[in-house]
Amino acid sequence: MSADVVRPQRSAFARYRRALWLLTVRDLRVRYSTSALGYVWSILDPLVMAGIYWFVFTQVFHRGAGNEPYIVFLLSALLPWMWFNGAVSDSTRAFIREAKLVRSTKIPRTIWVARLVLSKGIEYIASLPVLALFAIFAGATLNWEALLFPLAVIMQAALTLGVGLIVAPLVVFFRDLERAAKLTLRFLFYASPIIYGITDLPHQLHFIASFNPLVGILSMYRGAFFPEQLDPRAIAIGAGMTALILLVGILVFRRTIRAVLKEI
């Protein structure tokens, strides 16, 4: 490949990256500029959820679920779940909410989904100090499996982007899909090892559960504090499913984007 061909490609990538970053920063500023508490709101929801589940399972029913300390066990999966749930939910309105900008700008339309994945991902990274504090106070031990954290982040970003690229354009044509997505996310919350661990599932369900990409991703997050939750088979299958979902998302997006621009 000649230098004349490589140079425009690099320039296009640089423009894409700059536009993506500018829109992401805009989203974060808009989200917190009108809020007095700002950063606190990004972590309050998972903290309240974790507190409720901790109280129900440990204080009311006195039944073991997952590993101790349970509050760290919960937060290590709830925080990344909030990233996935928030980005996918917002993707259902990615084109409808920003219709005028999407039509009038010439930037690649995938940015309107990618910016949501990135902004929610930044919120997740910003919530990690809270998890660290709970881990310190609860006496959780950090293990070498924490080195898998970057891989988990990359896989989750790819998975979330793939789902967003499928949902965002289809909602423009099928508005009921927004409600269906919310119901699916609610089901997926309980179908994924968030309030429980993969080791709590019956052995015969382990293989089937592995086809949910979140199972392998969450096992890598949890492996940092709970090595027994790390499931190499779920990670391998999850990586394959993530790649497939991302590929399908790109194909669906490319085939529908022209019709989307006419519809909005």
Average pLDDT, the chain: 86
DSSP reduced 3-state for 231: coil
Q: Are 132 and 59 in contact (CB under 8 A)?
A: no
Token output for 93: 């309105």
What pTM did the predictor assign? 0.87
Rg of the chain over Cα atoms, rounded to whole angstroms, equals 20
Summarize the confidence of residues 128-151 as an average pLDDT.
90
In this predicted structure, the answer to whether residue 92 has a pLDDT above a threshold of 60 is yes
> In angstroms, what CA-CA distances link 76 with 102, 159, 198, 221, 227?
36, 18, 14, 6, 13
CA atoms within 13 A on the CB side of 202: 3
Measured distance CA(193)–CA(229) in Å, rounded: 10
Angle, helices 149-173 vs 232-263, to 10°: value is 30
DSSP 192: S
Summarize the confidence of residues 130-151 as an average pLDDT.
90
Give the dihedral of Cα atoms 97, 100, 102, 105; nearest 10 deg. Answer: -150
Least confident of 12-16, 203-207, 242-246: 12-16
In this predicted structure, the answer to whether residue 5 has a pLDDT above a threshold of 50 is no
Q: Residue 76: CB partners within 8 Å, gap ≥ 6? A: 131, 218, 221, 222, 224, 225, 226
Q: Are 167 and 181 in contact (CB under 8 A)?
A: yes
Q: Which residue has the tokens 């399908």?
A: 248
Least confident of 47-51, 139-143, 194-198, 236-240: 47-51
Measured distance CA(32)–CA(210) in Å, rounded: 37
Report the percentage of the chain scoring pLDDT > 90.
Answer: 44
Domains of the chain, by residue range, sit at: 39-263
Measured distance CA(142)–CA(121) in Å, rounded: 22
pLDDT for the residue 65: 66
Summarize the confidence of residues 136-141 as an average pLDDT.
87
At 228, give phi and psi (nearest 5°).
Answer: -70, -15
Measured distance CA(203)–CA(132) in Å, rounded: 31
